[in-house]
Amino acid sequence: MKPSFIVRSWAAMIELEAPSTAVAAVAAKLRSLGIDAGRDLEPFLRLIKVKGVMRRGVELVRTEASKNSCIVLLEGVACWSRRTDDGRRQIFAFHYPGDFCDLNRYVLPQLANSARILAVTDCLIGTVQFEHIEEIIGRLPAVGLALWRATMLEASIFRETLHNSHRPALERVAHLLCEQLARREAIGLSDGIIPLTQIDIADATALSPVHMNRTVQELRKLGALSRNTRAIKVASRERLVEIGRFDGRYLNMPKLLANWKIRLDAWLA
């Protein structure tokens, strides 16, 4: 990620040289939440201030000055994590461009807890002031509902993760990778590469790195992941969906998933 477009100005995002992919990702996300592209989208985009690049591994700290704002991821991958009792890192969910990383703080600030937002890769982030959110919700109620939906979608992902987390390692990892693949495709990242280390995935599935590695090898052997690279690259989406018994409807992206083969069992029972 070249830092050429980093601007710390407080001017509006769309007036800046924020990468077009970032703007597109945020717009795609908002549209999927029901924001009217013609009327409400632009006013909201104008609230996003580009903050800058955060290096991989650092916490997306909220400085004292920006305590009353929340973070929008513009480029890269972040995660919502916490330390477990034994000092391990647990990853609740990954964030992709267009995601609001800590919108929960707007709704329940007193709950601000031990969770941390970490940059999993180098990240470009923006912020939105709480007061601006409050103002636009009052002015455009549809935006309020869209933000509510954004948090509900996150809850839906938590639920699915919870469901997934008590399944055997192979299915578990396959399912997680399916989700990441779908969410990346939803914002135009369709190269099939999932830019996470095996350790990242281990922390997100609560598997040991060792067993994670064996599981990845198994997925490669089964033809779901590519064998030609150290990176996590999906070789066969169908295979992965099948292994993970992935039913992506919890992600609220009907159009995208129309192209996917999806299990129907649970919905017909």
Partner DNA sequence: CGTGCTGTTGAGGACGATCAATGACGGTGG
Partner DNA sequence: CCACCGTCATTGATCGTCCTCAACAGCACG
Work out which of 113, 165, 190, 208 binds DNA, going by CB under 7 A. Answer: 208
Could you say which of a copy of itself, DNA, none residue 154 binds, taking C-beta under 5 to 8 angstroms by partner kind? a copy of itself
Q: Cβ closer to DNA: 57 or 141? A: 57
Stretch that binds DNA, among 70-78, 185-193, 201-209, 234-242 (CB under 7 A): 201-209
Residue 241 CA to residue 262 CA, distance in Å, equals 7
Residues 181, 184, 189, 194: what is their CA dihedral angle, to the nearest 10 degrees? -50
Q: How far is the CB of 230 from DNA (least distance, A)?
A: 5
**211 binds a copy of itself, rule: CB under 8 A:** no
- Amino acid letter for position 240: L
Residues found in the chain: 269
DSSP E strand stretches across 58-197: 69-75, 78-83, 89-95, 116-119, 123-129, 193-194
189 in Cβ contact with 22 (< 8 Å):
no
Could you say which of a copy of itself, DNA, none residue 211 binds, taking C-beta under 5 to 8 angstroms by partner kind? DNA
Of 206, 205, 236, nearest in space to 219 by CA: 236
Which residue carries 């066969």 as its tokens? 236
Q: Cβ closer to a copy of itself: 160 or 185? A: 160
Of 246, 120, 233, nearest in space to 178 by CA: 246
Note the residues at the interface with DNA (CB under 7 A).
86, 168-170, 172, 197-199, 206-211, 213-214, 216-217, 230
- Which chain residues interact with a copy of itself by CB under 8 A? 82-85, 90, 92, 104, 107-108, 110-111, 113-115, 138, 141, 144-145, 148-149, 151-156, 158-159, 161-163, 165-167, 206, 245, 249-250, 252, 254, 265-267, 269
